[in-house]
Chain A
């Protein structure tokens, strides 16, 4: 069962398992919500991740040991089986074109795949949001099919355009804003996921499902995509 460790003077971290797995991600998303519902008055922030959940709380209102007790209570009283059915499905249109998929050409050669095969593999899967971090609204999605899994670039790019879709090992992600990074870029979404629209901050939550919908170059441009 879960192990609670001290993280800071007003923070704890709960470990739910040792290896990232879809069932564990669902469980963590479920308990995150349970804890927010039950202890929302004393919780300041939560950071769910692959195998853990960090929580900071108001030490003005509750001591470390009392808070640990309350958390244990909530965890042991929550019996509803977590399931995929509770999670949101987010659809992201992607143009998988060589002019925006900066590493696509090399990747197809390395993997011995046609562009059509590659698109089918990447877009046929429903991905799970395992964690959010690195930068605001950057969602780590898994797991990528082994046939298109590829390690990070030896040297990170200085500038990856906003909306780029990347692969690193068995994870995939969208870069919400233009930033540096070492992921292999395979396409781009015309959606504006940046914080210029403040509501974008909540677009992804841990436990959500994401699907990439392949679109043509014309569609990409008509949706505001830039080549």
Chain B
């Protein structure tokens, strides 16, 4: 069972839930940028939560199915079609041998997820199939690649994600943050500035970090001794603007950090195009853990 890669697209990567246990040796967490869309895609096919998917960023991707199989496509609306006819997202669909799957351009959101039964079968490196281009671990999809997957003999039931779980990626976004790291070292006016500011997503954002544009905070403390960074940490650069550190971020950094974004909001951020308005509001640790716990329980995630 497999797909031929006719057009690789702007930036398409095999990703799974992430790479764990190697941060002390400098390896990033890596893994899918949008855990919400990813988990639903695997869930629709009764996959394991860690099964590898194809993360297609911005589109321009074309695959040819070499076998008949069930798939699920979730996340951004990148104009997904099969043999030229538009297909629904967030549900199981069946493709036939020889079908052409295409993703054209980003209509809403940024990243589309293609899941197949059992996940894509690439070779794991350091316990994960996630590609990390910055670390030179695996490589982005290339024209002519073969994407192999397990044989799927069962006839899959038609399953659809309930509409209340399908996000609208055009909406402005409020990111819930936990006060963390150097929060106490920031002055009151600086904290207020951070929590009351309307920022916009900068076009200089990628899987390493999301940069925000807006009015800069003044008198930010200089760089400090480098320390471990966790997913969602918000660095305030010397220029006074936030960078939210994401899955491909290095494991250490030396800018002061004011807060850490709640992970399920990072999934939403992963789909916001540049120029989208972003604000921050506080969440407490009990609430954040409870919400994440519910998410983990529903999708049977045991790593986090």
Contacts and interface: CB of A to CB of B under 8 A. Distances in A.
Q: Do A and B interact with each other, yes or no?
A: yes
Interface of A: 5-11, 13, 19-20, 32, 44-54, 56, 58-60, 63-64, 131-138, 177, 195, 198, 201-202, 204-206
Contact of B285 (A52, A64, A198, A201): A64
Contact of B260 (A9, A48, A60): A9
Given A9-B285, A20-B225, A56-B230, A137 B26 contact: yes
Nearest to A62: B289
B303 A13 contact: no
Contact of B263 (A9, A53, A204): A9
B25 A132 contact: yes
B224 to A, nearest CB: 9
A153 to B, nearest CB: 17
A45 B23 CA distance: 6
B25 A13 contact: no
Given A20-B225, A64-B285, A7 B233 contact: yes
Contact of A136 (B26, B229, B232): B26
A54 B27 CA distance: 14
A53 B301 CA distance: 25
A135 B292 CA distance: 29
Interface string B220-257: 00000111111111000000000000000011100000
A201 B22 contact: yes
Given A49-B226, A136-B27, A8 B180 contact: yes
Contacts of B288: 9
A47 B252 contact: yes
Given A7-B181, A7-B230, A51 B23 contact: no
B125 A198 contact: yes
A54 B252 CA distance: 10
Contact of B228 (A44, A49, A136, A204): A49
Interface residues of B, number: 46
Contacts, number: 145
Contacts of A198: 125-126
B226 A10 contact: no
B246 to A, nearest CB: 12
B233 A8 contact: yes
Contacts of B303: 44, 58
Contact of B181 (A5, A32, A58, A204): A5
A60 B227 contact: no
A10 B263 CA distance: 10
A195 B137 contact: yes
9 contacts: A8-B230, A9-B260, A9-B285, A45-B20, A45-B22, A58-B303, A136-B22, A195-B136, A201-B27
Nearest to B27: A136
Given A8-B178, A11-B230, A195-B136, A206 B289 contact: no
B189 interface: no
B252 A201 contact: no
Contacts of A195: 125, 136-137
Contact of A7 (B135, B228, B302): B228
